Amino acid sequence: MELEELRPTWDEYFIMLAKLAAMRSTCLAFPVGAVIVKNKQVVATGYNGSPSGTAHCTAQGYCYPGLSSCAESKSLPSRAVHAEANAIAQAAKHGISTEGSSIYVTLEPCLSCLKLIISAGIHEVFFETGFNSGNSLLVRDSFIQDGLVTLKQIHISEAIAQKAATFLMNPTSVATPSLI
């Protein structure tokens, strides 16, 4: 295989960073990571979890007492700040503009996050796993039709995923025979 093929595309690069951010998730529902990118530069990252300073779902062993996950209850709202919201909040906290940026997320944004994304001036969403269905899909598609935002599902190629695993499992910066 040509070495160039084993170099991640920008989309693969940023979604891999989002996957790494998801590893810091503190909610038991499922891990989600987000990376806000402007001009191919990372401006903020985020992952889902309860607000800064509150007990982490993962530390408590439950989201609400008696509820194993923030996604378990139909009536109780999630305790977690979503990854996209946390990334936007991080940018706000540090005074970094998100106007005209893109966001890479491991899960398609829920409607609340998508509205926040649009209002933050983020025009492009790249996600790995789909989320919206039913009426949420209708609202999502109306935002797309109004030209407010674009959404694109992306995946990491198997060769790149394998290379990433090798990089994580071994010291990265060592000479490989094929490069000498």
Binding site for Zn(2+), by residue number, is 82, 110, 113
Residues tagged in the binding site annotation: 82, 110, 113
Measured between its terminal Cα atoms, the distance across the chain in Å is 16
Nearest in space to 93 (alpha carbons), one of 54, 56, 45:
45
The two structure tokens encoding residue 168: 């994580």
Q: Spell out the residues 6+ positions from residue 25 whose beta carbon is closer than 8 angstroms to its own.
A: 31, 32, 33, 47, 48, 49, 58, 83
35 binds Zn ion (CB under 5 A): no
Tell me, yes or no, if 84 is annotated catalytic.
yes
Is the CB of residue 85 less than 8 Å from the CB of residue 113? yes
Binding mask 110-129 for Zn ion (x = CB under 5 A): x--x----------------
Q: Which of 34, 35, 43, 57 binds Zn ion (CB under 5 A)?
A: 57
For the CB of residue 158, give the shortest distance to Zn ion in the complex, in Å: 28
Residue for token pair 């996950």: 69
Close Cβ partners of 2 (under 8 Å, ≥ 6 residues apart)? none
Minimum distance of Zn ion from residue 59's CB (angstroms): 11
84, 99, 108, 124: the active-site residue: 84
- Binding test (CB under 5 A) with Zn ion, winner from 16, 70, 105, 149: 70
If one asks whether residue 140 binds Zn ion (CB under 5 A), the answer comes out as no
The answer to whether residue 63 forms part of the interface with Zn ion (CB under 5 A) is yes
Enumerate binding residues for Zn ion (CB under 5 A). 27, 57, 63, 70, 79-80, 82, 110, 113
Instruction: Provide the annotated active-site residues.
Output: 84
